[in-house]
């Protein structure tokens, strides 16, 4: 193997740049030529490959987003798109690829692996919904961003004796909501993985009033059965007369940006190094990941066929902590 490519795909995540830097510099140090592929799988299909030198990835470890750009590329889901991508790779004589992205991107990587192309996945997604890694790159930064917002909202909620519904991202995963909710001391947390009755929020609001709580914070995952807006409407219609006045904040894409935390920079760096090592050793068709404090690898087929859910026991703990 002489030439490797690296791309970022799907939703961007803070720390993707740190991963690109680690892949590039480790690749160069291992004797590879390294090529950046712009705009995720679009770059593969179009065959636009840019040689990356050590200086090209300088000054990016602290930057959010991805210097390679990213995209969601429906064309790559088709056999024709994949055929074009493999053709482009062959024409550029690239013989190995590192795909940095979330679950969808890993599914894309798996299709290349299935067709005999050496590929290694590197998990990066604020949703942290991937089997095979305790943490995906970007999740820690997004969590801290959401937490910072919750802390700020709590200040104003307390000053006005208000209830706030705060909706966080996560697609179908409740990781961000559960962790940000616990760390932010939320009264109620709603996640997609666990059934949720909005009536319990009303009961909890009454209880909070009785106990003399000065605020009421609900953290809702966007993928929950009741998202922020729906829950707000429900409270509007059904809440008791003495309810807290309620406001809704949807955090949205603010959670995707920003400088990666130290944790994400280090995780991205460790995973980037491991991804190159796996390609070099001929261990492809895997996704590198963190388990405990150990970097390992999981077959892509297992990654994409296994659902990851939030820790139900921890969810129960969160309820007790909100007493």
The single residue listed with the structure tokens 């994409």 is 304
Among 131, 215, 256, 270, the residue binding ligand F6P under the rule CB under 6 A is 256
- Report how far apart, in Å, the C-alpha atoms of 39 and of each of 15, 99, 314 are: 17, 12, 37
How far apart (Å, rounded) are the C-alpha atoms in residues 192 and 169?
11
Is residue 233 part of the annotated active site? The answer reads no
Nearer to ligand F6P, 228 or 285 (CB): 228
Q: CA angle, corner 185, sides to 183 and 186, nearest 5? A: 115
Q: Does 223 bind ligand ADP (CB under 6 A)?
A: no
β pairing state of 33-37 and 119-123 = unpaired
Using Cβ positions, the residue closest to ligand F6P within the complex turns out to be: 11
**What character string, x for contact with ligand F6P (CB under 6 A) and - otherwise, covers 95-124?**
-------x----------------------
Q: Helix 139-160 crosses helix 262-280 at what angle (to 10 degrees)?
A: 160
Residues 100-139 that bind ligand ADP (CB under 6 A): 101-105, 107-108, 111, 125
**What character string, x for contact with ligand ADP (CB under 6 A) and - otherwise, covers 19-48?**
----------------------x-------
Nearer to ligand ADP, 235 or 304 (CB): 304
Among 3, 7, 9, 11, the residue binding ligand F6P under the rule CB under 6 A is 11
Structure tokens given for 30: 């291992």
Nearer to ligand F6P, 17 or 88 (CB): 17
Q: CA angle, corner 316, sides to 313 and 318, nearest 5? A: 115
Q: Helix 103-114 crosses helix 79-91 at what angle (to 10 degrees)?
A: 70
Nearer to ligand F6P, 4 or 126 (CB): 126
Name every residue whose Cβ is closer than 8 Å to that of residue 138 and which is 6 or more positions away in sequence.
12, 13, 14, 15, 16, 124, 125, 126, 256, 260, 264
Residue 76 binds which entry of ligand ADP, ligand F6P, none, CB below 5-8 Å type-dependent: ligand ADP
Among 126, 147, 178, 297, the residue binding ligand F6P under the rule CB under 6 A is 126
Residues 71-100 that bind ligand F6P (CB under 6 A): none
**What character string, x for contact with ligand F6P (CB under 6 A) and - otherwise, covers 156-195?**
-------------xxx------------------------
**What is the CB-side half-sphere exposure of residue 252 using CA atoms within 13 A?**
4
Nearer to ligand ADP, 113 or 228 (CB): 113
How far apart (Å, rounded) are the C-alpha atoms in residues 288 and 121?
6
**What is the CB-side half-sphere exposure of residue 162 using CA atoms within 13 A?**
16
Dihedrals phi, psi of 70, to nearest 5 degrees: -140, 170
Residue 169 binds which entry of ligand ADP, ligand F6P, none, CB below 5-8 Å type-dependent: ligand F6P
Residue 256 binds which entry of ligand F6P, ligand ADP, none, CB below 5-8 Å type-dependent: ligand F6P
Using Cβ positions, the residue closest to ligand ADP within the complex turns out to be: 104
Q: Judge whether 124 and 131 are in contact, CB under 8 Å.
A: no
**Number of other residues whose CB lies within 10 A of the CB of residue 214:** 13
Among 12, 56, 127, 148, the active-site one is 127
β pairing state of 286-291 and 294-299 = antiparallel
- List residues near ligand F6P by CB under 6 A: 11, 102, 125-127, 169-171, 222, 256
- List residues near ligand ADP by CB under 6 A: 9-11, 41, 72-73, 76-77, 101-105, 107-108, 111, 125
Name the residues annotated as catalytic.
127
């Amino acid at each position: 193997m002489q030439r490797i490519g690296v791309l970022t795909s799907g939703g961007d995540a803070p720390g993707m740049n740190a991963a690109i830097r680690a892949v590039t510099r480790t690749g160069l140090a291992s004797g590879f030529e390294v090529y950046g592929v712009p705009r995720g799988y679009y770059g593969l299909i179009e065959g636009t490959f840019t040689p990356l030198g050590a200086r090209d990835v300088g000054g990016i470890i602290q930057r959010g987003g991805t210097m390679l750009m990213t995209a969601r590329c429906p064309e790559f889901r088709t056999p024709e798109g994949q055929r074009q991508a493999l053709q482009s790779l062959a024409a550029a004589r690239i013989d190995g690829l590192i795909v940095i992205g979330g679950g969808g991107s890993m599914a894309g990587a798996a299709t290349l692996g299935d067709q005999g192309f050496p590929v290694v996945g590197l998990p990066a997604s604020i949703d942290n919904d991937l089997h095979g890694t305790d943490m995906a790159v970007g999740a820690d930064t997004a969590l801290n961003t959401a937490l910072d917002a919750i802390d700020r909202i709590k200040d104003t909620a307390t000053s006005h004796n208000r209830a706030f519904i705060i909706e966080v991202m996560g697609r179908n995963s409740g990781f961000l909501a559960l962790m940000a909710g616990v760390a932010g001391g939320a009264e109620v947390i709603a996640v997609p993985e666990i059934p949720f009755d909005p009536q319990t929020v009303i009961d909890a609001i009454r209880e909070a009033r009785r106990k003399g709580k000065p605020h009421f914070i609900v953290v809702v995952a966007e993928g929950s059965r009741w998202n922020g807006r729906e829950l707000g409407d429900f409270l509007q219609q059904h809440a008791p007369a003495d309810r807290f006045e309620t406001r809704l904040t949807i955090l949205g894409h603010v959670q995707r940006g920003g400088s990666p935390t130290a944790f994400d920079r280090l995780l991205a760096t460790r995973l980037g190094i491991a991804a190159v090592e796996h390609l070099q050793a001929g261990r492809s068709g895997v996704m590198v990941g963190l388990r405990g404090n150990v970097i390992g690898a999981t077959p892509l087929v297992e990654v994409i066929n296994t659902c990851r859910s939030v820790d139900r026991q921890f969810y129960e703990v969160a309820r007790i902590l909100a007493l």
